[in-house]
Amino acid sequence: MNPVVVVHGGGASSISKDRKERMRQGIVRAATVGYCILKGGGSAVDAVEGAVAELENDPEFNAGCGSVLNVNGDIEMDASIMDGKDLSTGAVSAVRCIANPVKLARLVMDKTPHCFLTNQGAAKFAADMGIPEVPVEQLITERNRKHLEKEKAEKGAQKSGCPENLGTVGAVALDCKGNLAYATSTGGIVNKMIGRVGDSPCVGSGGYADNNIGAVSTTGHGESILKVNLARLTLFHIEQGKTAEEAANLSLNYMKSRVKGLGGLILISKTGDWVAKWTSTSMPWAAAKEGKLHAGIDLNDTTITELP
């Protein structure tokens, strides 16, 4: 099979031109990292983990370093990963002092009999696996401190929910052997309650991968995505014979009409068709296939370049 990787960097409305450009560069870098892994014979799971870790390390995105702050000015991150070969999956939620939640989710998948670890249990497992603890200050950016202050001033201390500008990151990949995988990682929603868990670590909502159907990673308003199981819903439409584009439109429009939720998703079908779609204002995304890199943020601004 021709390998394919698609990545997203959540919503990106109301941001400066400069930051948009930095997001575009970050998303292109992540797609390139994922594509190099696939071209080097790496698995789809390795590719999505590598691409998402790249975005977690980039402070422009709301995951890892650059995560948005909760009501206490603290960071609680969620991530998940899935291997479409055998539906094995790993997830973590409310993790604090690690750089790459997606790598911890991978270890939950590979090294435990469970699918999902949370909070102190996830932290203990990270320590047992030798993942270094990083001070939370290292993950907090000045931009996110100001973002929380502004949110509290405008909406009050207990109201979170800015449905746009979320910046969750994710990747889907198809490797040379026909295996599909997804990974999604996020800091969640600014000003969220302590302990709030969104869609991103929840398999079926934040993503899904099945070699027999396709792979999806989602972004957007977590509570809405959870209510409609956005990722699995999209793959259901593929199972019903819809194209990747039709399936993405049907599920995103359903979320919009049924629960007034906005978001976006990336999808690769088992035959290697891919799509990036969103109902939010914008979504940084990039896709690499057959030596070409497609990328965009707003509607109708797709660029296509040759990969090195």
**Binding interface with ligand GLY (CB under 6 A):** 166, 168, 186, 188-189, 198-200, 219-220, 222, 225
Shortest distance in whole angstroms from residue 53 CB to ligand GLY: 18
Nearer Cβ to ligand GLY (9/50): 9
Catalytic residue among 168, 184, 186, 218: 168
Nearer Cβ to ligand GLY (32/186): 186
Shortest distance in whole angstroms from residue 144 CB to ligand GLY: 14
Tokens at 283, concatenated: 């979504």
Tokens at 199, concatenated: 């869609």
Shortest distance in whole angstroms from residue 112 CB to ligand GLY: 14
Query: Catalytic site residue 168?
Result: yes
- What whole-number distance in Å separates Cα of residue 281 and Cα of residue 111? 39
Nearer Cβ to ligand GLY (53/288): 53
Nearer Cβ to ligand GLY (155/242): 155
Type and span of the H or E element at 30 = helix 17-39
Kindly provide the b/e burial profile for residues 219-246, where b requires at least 16 CB atoms within 10 angstroms of the residue's own CB.
bbbbbbbbebbbbbbbbbbbeeebebee
Q: Are 70 and 191 in contact (CB under 8 A)?
A: yes
Q: What is the CA radius of gyration of the chain?
A: 17
> Residue 291: what are its φ and ψ, rounded to 5°?
75, 5
Residue whose C-alpha is closest to residue 241's, from 211, 213, 274: 213
Shortest distance in whole angstroms from residue 197 CB to ligand GLY: 8
CB-based contacts of 143: which residues, under 8 Å, 6+ apart? 59
Shortest distance in whole angstroms from residue 264 CB to ligand GLY: 10
What are the E-state strand segments in the chain? 4-8, 77-83, 88-95, 116-118, 169-174, 180-186, 207-210, 214-220, 263-269, 274-278, 285-289, 292-296, 303-306
Nearer Cβ to ligand GLY (68/213): 68
Q: Which residues are catalytic?
A: 168
